[in-house]
Protein backbone atom coordinates (compact mmCIF):
# COMPACT_ATOMS: atom_id res chain seq x y z
CA UNK A 1 0.00 0.00 0.00
CA UNK A 2 1.10 3.55 -0.66
CA UNK A 3 2.05 5.11 2.69
CA UNK A 4 -0.22 8.13 2.21
CA UNK A 5 -3.21 5.80 1.84
CA UNK A 6 -2.66 3.83 5.04
CA UNK A 7 -4.85 4.52 8.07
CA UNK A 8 -3.15 5.67 11.25
CA UNK A 9 -2.92 2.17 12.70
CA UNK A 10 -1.18 0.72 9.67
CA UNK A 11 1.02 3.77 9.22
CA UNK A 12 2.20 3.61 12.82
CA UNK A 13 3.07 -0.08 12.64
CA UNK A 14 4.85 0.35 9.32
CA UNK A 15 6.74 3.61 9.94
CA UNK A 16 5.92 5.94 12.80
CA UNK A 17 6.85 3.64 15.70
CA UNK A 18 10.42 3.39 14.34
CA UNK A 19 10.99 6.98 13.27
CA UNK A 20 12.83 5.76 10.18
CA UNK A 21 15.61 4.32 12.35
CA UNK A 22 16.73 0.81 11.33
CA UNK A 23 18.41 0.08 14.67
CA UNK A 24 15.23 0.95 16.57
CA UNK A 25 13.21 -1.21 14.20
CA UNK A 26 15.50 -4.22 14.60
CA UNK A 27 15.56 -3.92 18.38
CA UNK A 28 11.80 -3.56 18.66
CA UNK A 29 11.01 -6.42 16.30
CA UNK A 30 13.33 -8.66 18.28
CA UNK A 31 11.47 -7.78 21.47
CA UNK A 32 8.12 -8.39 19.81
CA UNK A 33 9.18 -11.84 18.64
CA UNK A 34 10.02 -12.81 22.21
CA UNK A 35 6.68 -11.45 23.48
CA UNK A 36 4.81 -13.41 20.79
CA UNK A 37 6.38 -16.64 22.01
CA UNK A 38 5.40 -15.87 25.60
CA UNK A 39 1.80 -15.10 24.62
CA UNK A 40 1.57 -18.35 22.65
CA UNK A 41 3.19 -20.36 25.43
CA UNK A 42 0.57 -19.15 27.90
CA UNK A 43 -2.19 -19.79 25.35
CA UNK A 44 -1.49 -23.55 25.37
CA UNK A 45 -3.13 -23.86 21.98
CA UNK A 46 -3.44 -27.45 20.85
CA UNK A 47 -2.51 -28.52 17.35
CA UNK A 48 -5.56 -28.11 15.13
CA UNK A 49 -7.23 -25.61 17.47
CA UNK A 50 -8.75 -22.24 16.58
CA UNK A 51 -7.15 -19.01 17.78
CA UNK A 52 -8.69 -15.55 17.70
CA UNK A 53 -6.02 -12.86 17.38
CA UNK A 54 -7.80 -9.73 18.67
CA UNK A 55 -6.21 -6.53 17.42
CA UNK A 56 -4.07 -8.60 15.12
CA UNK A 57 -2.08 -5.71 13.65
CA UNK A 58 0.34 -7.17 11.12
CA UNK A 59 -0.41 -10.70 12.35
CA UNK A 60 2.46 -11.28 14.77
CA UNK A 61 0.50 -13.60 17.06
CA UNK A 62 -1.73 -15.16 14.42
CA UNK A 63 1.02 -16.27 12.07
CA UNK A 64 3.03 -17.51 15.04
CA UNK A 65 0.05 -19.68 16.00
CA UNK A 66 -0.17 -21.08 12.47
CA UNK A 67 3.52 -21.97 12.66
CA UNK A 68 2.78 -23.85 15.88
CA UNK A 69 0.05 -25.92 14.27
CA UNK A 70 -3.16 -23.95 14.77
CA UNK A 71 -5.87 -25.38 12.57
CA UNK A 72 -7.44 -21.99 12.04
CA UNK A 73 -6.71 -18.39 12.99
CA UNK A 74 -9.23 -15.55 13.01
CA UNK A 75 -7.49 -12.24 12.44
CA UNK A 76 -9.56 -9.44 13.99
CA UNK A 77 -8.78 -5.72 13.90
CA UNK A 78 -10.49 -2.35 13.56
CA UNK A 79 -8.12 -1.44 10.72
CA UNK A 80 -9.10 -2.66 7.26
CA UNK A 81 -5.61 -1.77 6.08
CA UNK A 82 -3.99 -4.10 8.62
CA UNK A 83 -6.43 -6.87 7.77
CA UNK A 84 -5.38 -6.42 4.14
CA UNK A 85 -1.73 -6.78 5.19
CA UNK A 86 -2.54 -10.04 6.99
CA UNK A 87 -4.67 -11.31 4.13
CA UNK A 88 -1.86 -10.70 1.65
CA UNK A 89 0.69 -12.35 3.93
CA UNK A 90 -1.57 -15.38 4.30
CA UNK A 91 -1.93 -15.59 0.54
CA UNK A 92 1.83 -15.34 0.05
CA UNK A 93 2.31 -18.17 2.56
CA UNK A 94 -0.50 -20.25 1.00
CA UNK A 95 -2.40 -20.19 4.30
CA UNK A 96 -5.68 -18.57 3.29
CA UNK A 97 -7.65 -21.76 3.82
CA UNK A 98 -6.69 -21.68 7.51
CA UNK A 99 -7.47 -17.99 8.05
CA UNK A 100 -10.47 -15.74 8.51
CA UNK A 101 -10.36 -11.95 8.59
CA UNK A 102 -12.94 -9.81 10.38
CA UNK A 103 -13.16 -6.11 11.10
CA UNK A 104 -14.28 -5.75 14.70
CA UNK A 105 -13.37 -4.01 17.93
CA UNK A 106 -12.30 -5.95 20.99
CA UNK A 107 -15.47 -5.00 22.86
CA UNK A 108 -17.81 -6.06 20.03
CA UNK A 109 -16.88 -9.35 18.38
CA UNK A 110 -20.40 -9.93 17.06
CA UNK A 111 -19.18 -11.36 13.70
CA UNK A 112 -17.91 -14.36 15.71
CA UNK A 113 -20.36 -16.96 16.98
CA UNK A 114 -20.64 -18.05 20.59
CA UNK A 115 -18.20 -20.80 21.63
CA UNK A 116 -16.39 -20.67 18.29
CA UNK A 117 -12.70 -20.52 19.30
CA UNK A 118 -10.27 -22.28 21.59
CA UNK A 119 -7.95 -19.37 22.41
CA UNK A 120 -8.20 -15.57 22.49
CA UNK A 121 -5.00 -13.52 22.47
CA UNK A 122 -4.13 -9.84 22.65
CA UNK A 123 -0.87 -7.95 22.42
CA UNK A 124 -1.13 -4.29 23.39
CA UNK A 125 -4.81 -4.09 22.44
CA UNK A 126 -6.83 -3.43 25.59
CA UNK A 127 -4.81 -0.25 26.14
CA UNK A 128 -6.93 1.25 23.35
CA UNK A 129 -10.28 -0.08 24.59
CA UNK A 130 -12.43 2.13 26.79
CA UNK A 131 -14.81 -0.63 27.88
CA UNK A 132 -12.40 -3.35 28.93
CA UNK A 133 -15.13 -5.13 30.87
CA UNK A 134 -17.15 -5.55 27.67
CA UNK A 135 -14.05 -6.85 25.87
CA UNK A 136 -13.42 -9.52 28.51
CA UNK A 137 -17.08 -10.47 28.28
CA UNK A 138 -16.75 -10.88 24.53
CA UNK A 139 -13.65 -13.05 24.98
CA UNK A 140 -15.63 -15.27 27.33
CA UNK A 141 -18.57 -15.47 24.91
CA UNK A 142 -16.62 -16.59 21.85
CA UNK A 143 -14.56 -19.19 23.73
CA UNK A 144 -15.52 -22.82 23.94
CA UNK A 145 -15.74 -24.42 27.40
CA UNK A 146 -12.19 -24.88 28.64
CA UNK A 147 -10.89 -22.31 26.15
CA UNK A 148 -8.12 -19.94 27.17
CA UNK A 149 -7.14 -16.29 27.15
CA UNK A 150 -3.54 -15.14 26.85
CA UNK A 151 -3.34 -11.37 27.14
CA UNK A 152 -0.28 -9.14 27.01
CA UNK A 153 -0.74 -5.48 27.90
CA UNK A 154 1.69 -2.68 28.79
CA UNK A 155 1.03 -0.98 32.13
CA UNK A 156 1.71 2.59 31.14
CA UNK A 157 0.96 3.99 34.58
CA UNK A 158 4.25 2.51 35.73
CA UNK A 159 6.20 4.82 33.43
CA UNK A 160 4.67 8.03 34.80
CA UNK A 161 7.25 10.14 36.62
CA UNK A 162 6.72 12.97 39.04
CA UNK A 163 9.92 14.84 38.25
CA UNK A 164 10.49 16.98 35.14
CA UNK A 165 11.52 14.45 32.52
CA UNK A 166 10.70 13.61 28.95
CA UNK A 167 10.71 9.95 27.89
CA UNK A 168 13.10 9.25 30.75
CA UNK A 169 15.49 12.13 30.13
CA UNK A 170 15.93 14.88 32.73
CA UNK A 171 14.67 18.24 31.44
CA UNK A 172 16.52 20.37 33.96
CA UNK A 173 16.67 24.02 32.89
CA UNK A 174 14.29 23.46 29.94
CA UNK A 175 11.53 21.93 32.09
CA UNK A 176 9.13 24.80 31.35
CA UNK A 177 9.58 24.30 27.61
CA UNK A 178 9.11 20.58 28.00
CA UNK A 179 5.81 21.12 29.78
CA UNK A 180 4.47 22.93 26.72
CA UNK A 181 5.18 19.82 24.64
CA UNK A 182 3.73 17.55 27.31
CA UNK A 183 0.48 19.53 27.19
CA UNK A 184 0.05 18.52 23.54
CA UNK A 185 0.09 14.86 24.49
CA UNK A 186 -2.01 15.24 27.64
CA UNK A 187 -4.74 16.93 25.64
CA UNK A 188 -4.91 13.88 23.37
CA UNK A 189 -4.38 11.22 26.02
CA UNK A 190 -5.10 12.45 29.58
CA UNK A 191 -4.81 10.13 32.57
CA UNK A 192 -8.45 9.12 31.98
CA UNK A 193 -7.51 7.69 28.57
CA UNK A 194 -7.88 3.88 28.30
CA UNK A 195 -4.13 3.66 27.79
CA UNK A 196 -3.54 4.99 31.31
CA UNK A 197 -6.68 4.24 33.33
CA UNK A 198 -5.80 0.72 34.51
CA UNK A 199 -3.09 -1.46 35.94
CA UNK A 200 -2.39 -5.18 36.17
CA UNK A 201 -4.73 -5.66 39.13
CA UNK A 202 -7.60 -4.18 37.14
CA UNK A 203 -6.96 -6.61 34.29
CA UNK A 204 -6.94 -9.57 36.65
CA UNK A 205 -10.12 -8.41 38.38
CA UNK A 206 -11.94 -7.88 35.07
CA UNK A 207 -10.91 -11.33 33.85
CA UNK A 208 -12.15 -12.89 37.07
CA UNK A 209 -15.43 -11.00 36.88
CA UNK A 210 -15.90 -12.27 33.32
CA UNK A 211 -15.69 -15.84 34.62
CA UNK A 212 -12.16 -16.93 33.82
CA UNK A 213 -10.76 -19.44 36.31
CA UNK A 214 -8.11 -20.42 37.16
CA UNK A 215 -6.22 -17.21 36.36
CA UNK A 216 -2.58 -16.21 36.41
CA UNK A 217 -0.87 -12.83 36.37
CA UNK A 218 2.77 -12.33 35.47
CA UNK A 219 4.05 -8.76 35.87
CA UNK A 220 7.36 -7.84 34.30
CA UNK A 221 8.74 -4.47 35.42
CA UNK A 222 11.99 -2.89 34.32
CA UNK A 223 13.90 0.18 35.47
CA UNK A 224 17.17 0.46 33.60
CA UNK A 225 19.49 2.82 31.71
CA UNK A 226 18.30 3.82 28.26
CA UNK A 227 20.51 2.65 25.43
CA UNK A 228 21.98 5.33 23.14
CA UNK A 229 19.86 5.89 20.04
CA UNK A 230 19.81 8.15 17.03
CA UNK A 231 18.24 11.56 17.45
CA UNK A 232 16.29 11.16 14.21
CA UNK A 233 14.77 7.89 15.39
CA UNK A 234 13.77 9.55 18.66
CA UNK A 235 12.34 12.77 17.31
CA UNK A 236 10.45 11.28 14.33
CA UNK A 237 8.83 8.35 16.16
CA UNK A 238 5.45 8.27 17.91
CA UNK A 239 4.73 6.22 21.02
CA UNK A 240 1.37 4.99 19.72
CA UNK A 241 -0.92 5.51 16.71
CA UNK A 242 -2.98 8.28 18.32
CA UNK A 243 -0.26 10.78 19.16
CA UNK A 244 2.15 12.98 17.18
CA UNK A 245 5.86 12.44 16.89
CA UNK A 246 8.06 14.51 19.16
CA UNK A 247 9.01 16.65 16.17
CA UNK A 248 5.33 17.29 15.36
CA UNK A 249 4.52 18.15 18.97
CA UNK A 250 7.43 20.61 19.17
CA UNK A 251 6.33 22.22 15.94
CA UNK A 252 2.82 22.64 17.33
CA UNK A 253 3.69 23.89 20.81
CA UNK A 254 6.98 25.79 20.63
CA UNK A 255 8.55 28.79 19.03
CA UNK A 256 11.67 28.29 16.96
CA UNK A 257 13.92 29.47 19.76
CA UNK A 258 12.20 27.17 22.25
CA UNK A 259 12.63 24.21 19.90
CA UNK A 260 16.32 25.03 19.52
CA UNK A 261 16.82 25.15 23.29
CA UNK A 262 14.95 21.91 23.90
CA UNK A 263 16.82 20.09 21.14
CA UNK A 264 20.17 21.39 22.34
CA UNK A 265 19.41 19.98 25.80
CA UNK A 266 17.83 16.65 24.85
CA UNK A 267 19.84 15.56 21.83
CA UNK A 268 23.09 14.77 23.68
CA UNK A 269 21.15 12.83 26.34
CA UNK A 270 19.38 10.75 23.69
CA UNK A 271 22.49 10.04 21.63
CA UNK A 272 24.60 9.21 24.69
CA UNK A 273 21.96 7.13 26.45
CA UNK A 274 21.76 9.37 29.53
CA UNK A 275 18.24 8.52 30.59
CA UNK A 276 16.19 5.99 32.53
CA UNK A 277 13.78 3.47 31.01
CA UNK A 278 10.72 2.49 33.06
CA UNK A 279 8.11 0.04 31.83
CA UNK A 280 5.87 -2.71 33.15
CA UNK A 281 4.08 -5.40 31.16
CA UNK A 282 1.30 -7.71 32.33
CA UNK A 283 0.53 -11.21 31.09
CA UNK A 284 -2.92 -12.40 32.16
CA UNK A 285 -3.79 -15.95 31.19
CA UNK A 286 -6.32 -18.55 32.22
CA UNK A 287 -9.28 -20.68 31.26
CA UNK A 288 -12.97 -20.39 30.63
CA UNK A 289 -14.17 -22.26 33.65
CA UNK A 290 -16.96 -24.80 33.35
CA UNK A 291 -18.66 -22.95 36.19
CA UNK A 292 -19.04 -19.92 33.84
CA UNK A 293 -21.41 -21.80 31.50
Q: pLDDT digits over 268-286, tens only? A: 999 999 999 999 999 999 9
Per-residue pLDDT, 2:
42
Task: Give the torsion sign (CA, 265, 268, 270, 274).
Answer: negative
How much is the CA Rg of the chain, to the nearest whole Å?
A: 20
Least-confidence region, from 44-53, 112-121, 162-171:
162-171
Cis check for the bond before 214: say yes or no (omega within 30 of 0). Answer: yes
| Portions of the chain given CATH number 3.40.50.150 | 3-157+196-226+277-292
Q: Residue 61 pLDDT more than 90?
A: yes
State the fold for domain 3-157+196-226+277-292: Rossmann fold (3.40.50)
Per-residue pLDDT, 160:
84
Percent of the chain with pLDDT over 70: 97
pLDDT band at residue 242 under the 50/70/90 scheme? very high
In order, the DSSP letters of 179-236 are HHHHHHHHHHS-TTSTTTS--HHHHHHHHHHHTEEEEEEEEEEEEEEPPP--HHHHHT
Q: Give per-residue pLDDT as tens, 252-268.
A: 999 999 999 999 999 99
Per-residue pLDDT, 20:
85
How much is the average pLDDT of 166-189?
Answer: 96
Per-residue pLDDT, 23:
86
Per-residue pLDDT, 146:
95
Q: What is the mean pLDDT of the chain?
A: 95
Q: Residue 291 pLDDT more than 70?
A: no
Per-residue pLDDT, 27:
87
pLDDT band at residue 194 under the 50/70/90 scheme? very high
Per-residue pLDDT, 163:
75
Q: Cβ contacts of residue 127 below 8 Å, gap of 6+?
A: 153, 154, 156, 194, 195, 240
What is the spatial distance between Cα 4 and Cα 205, in angstroms, rounded to a whole number? Answer: 41
Q: Cβ contacts of residue 204 below 8 Å, gap of 6+?
A: 215, 217, 284
Per-residue pLDDT, 1:
39
What is the spatial distance between Cα 78 and Cα 128, in angstroms, rounded to a whole number? Answer: 11
Q: Give per-residue pLDDT as tens, 41-51.
A: 999 999 999 99
Q: Residue 195 pLDDT more than 80?
A: yes
Q: Give per-residue pLDDT as tens, 122-154.
A: 999 999 999 999 999 999 999 999 999 999 999
pLDDT band at residue 24 under the 50/70/90 scheme? confident
Amino acid sequence: MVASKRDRWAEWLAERRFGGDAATRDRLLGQLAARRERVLDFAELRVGGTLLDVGCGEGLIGFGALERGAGRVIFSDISEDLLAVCRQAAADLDLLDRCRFIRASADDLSPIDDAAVDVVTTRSVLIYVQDKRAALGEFMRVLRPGGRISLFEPINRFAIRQQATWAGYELGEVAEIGEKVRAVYEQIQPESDPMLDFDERDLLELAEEAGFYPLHLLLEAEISPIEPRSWEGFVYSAGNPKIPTFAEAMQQALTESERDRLIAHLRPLVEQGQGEWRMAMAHVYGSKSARAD
